[in-house]
Amino acid sequence: MAVTLSFIVPAIIMSVPWLFDQTATTHYKWLAVWQPFPALTVLGLGFWHYICYYALGSLSPVGEKNEPTTHGHGYMVAVRGVYEFGLSLCATTHLPIVLLTLMPEVGREFLSRTFPHYASAFRSLSFAKVFVPFPWYDAPSIDPTAYQSGDLSILAQHFLHYDFYVGTFPMLIWSMYLHQRTVKNPDLGKMLLKAGLWFLIGGPAAASLILNWDRDAVTEEGEEELKKKIEKDLEKRKQLESRKTK
């Protein structure tokens, strides 16, 4: 909820200014609202945490069937939705762009006619332009007087390229290291294959998420006996309740 309200909703509104008949001033105000999204997300997380805590109280760990379980398994059940949300967000924003850059000319022309507001982007995008940055020592220069309304800013694109790669690749490398140091019987080849698959689907952030999800399974280690005991107690309780009902 915090990510959706602080990041996704403002991003959508600022990217479709004609949807609400926004003026240029309103459009740039939405841009300003969107910029501090990390701070807004943290504040939102704190807000929703306290709201849920006071509304629901401290919850005991439960499994897939909402029955008591160990803390480790309860944690894995709880964070599953978080990882699924993150992977879905990565895939829905990354994969369509990859497919668009690889789309043949006839497909782009069809999209340009269908969505005229994005026609200039559809016709000018390429895989290299979207994913390959200029060298850091050869930054692009522009003539501001030559720019027209609707032109993509090459300087903003240049910044976002490095913002993307510098921000996500160290996270992916760190996730790979933690994965190999944490999981049982680590296999470098399988890890790289899984990371590579999700890299294609959702970029480096998705690859990092899937490896962290695997790594978190360590929280269930050593709980086998306790889990069996809890399951036996639950079975005994159900049998007792069944006898009382009869």
Integer CA distances (angstroms), 71 to 19, 151, 175, 212, in order:
46, 53, 23, 18
Instruction: Enumerate residues 6+ apart whose C-beta is below 8 A from 122.
Output: 100, 108, 111, 112, 115
Q: Determine the average pLDDT of the residues in 192-202.
A: 95
pTM, two decimals, is 0.79
| pLDDT for res 58 | 67
Give which of 206, 174, 217 is closest to 87, Cα–Cα. 206
Instruction: State the DSSP string of 204-243.
Output: HHHHHHHHHHHHGGGGGTT-HHHHHHHHHHHHHHHHHHHH
Give the residue, 149 or 3, on which the prediction is more confident: 3
Q: Which residues contact 88 (CB under 8 A, 6 or more apart)?
A: none
Torsion (CA) 52, 212, 83, 40 in degrees, nearest 10 = 60
Could you tell me how many residues make up the chain? 246
Higher pLDDT, residue 192 or 160: 192
Sign of the alpha-carbon dihedral angle for 119, 10, 132, 193: negative
Q: Which residue in 125, 118, 133 sits closest to 99, CA to CA?
A: 125
93-150 pLDDT, tens digit each:
899 999 998 888 888 889 888 988 788 878 888 888 888 888 888 888 877 777 666 5
Please indicate whether residue 66 or residue 9 has the higher confidence score (pLDDT): 9
CB 185, CB 221: distance < 8 Å: no
pLDDT, tens only, 55-92? 876 677 777 777 778 888 888 888 898 999 999 999 99
> Residue range 234-245: average pLDDT?
73
Q: How far apart (Å, rounded) are the C-alpha atoms in residues 212 and 222?
A: 19
**Using 50, 70 and 90 to split pLDDT, how confident is the model at 245?**
low
Let me know if 202 is exposed, middle or buried by CB neighbors in 10 A (0-12, 13-18, 19+): buried
What residues contact residue 77 under an 8 Å CB cut-off, 6+ apart?
A: 61, 62, 63, 64, 69
pLDDT at position 65: 75
Q: What is the pLDDT of residue 30?
A: 79
CB distance 147 to 120 below 8 Å: no
Q: Count CA atoms closer than 13 A to 41's CA, side-chain side.
A: 11
| Average pLDDT for 225-241 | 76
Mean pLDDT of the 171-189 span: 92
pLDDT, one tens digit per residue, over 40-58 is 899 988 988 888 878 876 6
